[in-house]
Structure 1
Amino acid sequence: MIQRVTHVTVYVKNDDEALAFFTGKLGFKKKMDSAMGPGGPRWITVTPVGQPDFELTLLNPATWFKGEEAAIASEQIGRQAMIILDSDDIDTDHRTLKDAGVTIDLGVRELPWGRDLIFRDLYGNRYNLVQSKQG
């Protein structure tokens, strides 16, 4: 039986740019950055500080795939499914993201279940940052 999700892949155009964005602007921690053989692609993962058992895999399709497979995966950059992230202080996170130059599509809004905002990574993929009501 499936027990849990451990990794979600985000397609990126540039390994170093993506790693710098997720660690520098979003505050994720680098968990892994390893070459998969000489001249091969890199296995790069980052994790939210509060959830070290979950990793985002930053995968560059141009280095991992060939031909049509690379083209199909590359077309998904900036169009991937929205990833939902948890916040314990959405106002501070909003200011931090804004100050870091992160594109905010939808600022903090009040909802029946809590508050959220929507932002984009450097390639246009969307993320929903949510803070649930206490209790």
Structure 2
Amino acid sequence: MIRRVTHISVYVKNEDEALAFFTGKLGFKKKMDNQMGPGGPRWITVTPAGQPDFEVNLFNPASWSKGEDAAVIAAQTAQIGHQAMIILDSDDIDADYRALKAAGVTIELGVRDLPWGRDLIFQDLYGNRYNLVQSKQG
């Protein structure tokens, strides 16, 4: 039986830029940054401070596939900035909004009140969308 989700991958163009964005602007912690064998691609993961058992893999398709996989690389690269929205949890959406704005993160839709709580939508440096949600208590 499936028990939990441990990782998701986000397609990125540049691992170092993505790592700087997630750690510097979103406050995630770097969990892994390892070379997958001599001359191999990097396995980079970051984790939200409050959820260390869940990791976001910063996946650069071009570094994982070789020339013979050109069609695969092209298809994956085309998804950068067009992935399904990732939903994140907040315990203080107003403070998070101010921190994201101060860090220069693109806010697509500011804080709004909804029947089930409050949310906002922001983008990473490649245009991937994230929904930050603060649910109502109870």
User: Which residue of structure 2 lines up, in the alignment, with residue 102 of structure 1?
Assistant: 105
What secondary structure does 1:53 align onto? coil
Q: Does 1:35 align with 2:38?
A: no
Deviation at 1:60, TM superposition (A): 0.3
Moved more, 10-19 or 57-66: 57-66
User: Which residue of structure 2 lines up, in the alignment, with residue 88 of structure 1?
Assistant: 91
Deviation at 1:134, TM superposition (A): 1.1
Which 4+ runs in 1 deviate beyond 2 A?
none
User: Which residue of structure 2 lines up, in the alignment, with residue 45 of structure 1?
Assistant: 45
In 1, distance between residues paired with 2:80 and 2:50?
26
Q: Does 1:132 align with 2:118?
A: no
Q: CA RMSD in A?
A: 0.6
User: Which residue of structure 2 lines up, in the alignment, with residue 115 of structure 1?
Assistant: 118
- 1:110 corresponds to which letter in structure 2? D
User: Which residue of structure 2 lines up, in the alignment, with residue 14 of structure 1?
Assistant: 14
- 2:98 corresponds to which letter in structure 1? R
Query: How much identity, in percent, do the aligned residues show?
Result: 79
In 2, distance between residues paired with 1:37 and 1:17?
22
Q: How many residues align?
A: 135
Unaligned runs of at least 5 residues, structure 1: none
Q: Does 1:69 align with 2:48?
A: no
In 2, distance between residues paired with 1:81 and 1:8?
11
In 2, distance between residues paired with 1:89 and 1:3?
28
Unaligned runs of at least 5 residues, structure 2: none
Deviation at 1:37, TM superposition (A): 1.4
- 2:12 corresponds to which letter in structure 1? V
TM-score, normalised relative to structure 1:
0.98
- 2:47 corresponds to which letter in structure 1? T
What secondary structure does 2:121 align onto? strand
TM-score, normalised relative to structure 2:
0.96
- 1:126 corresponds to which letter in structure 2? R
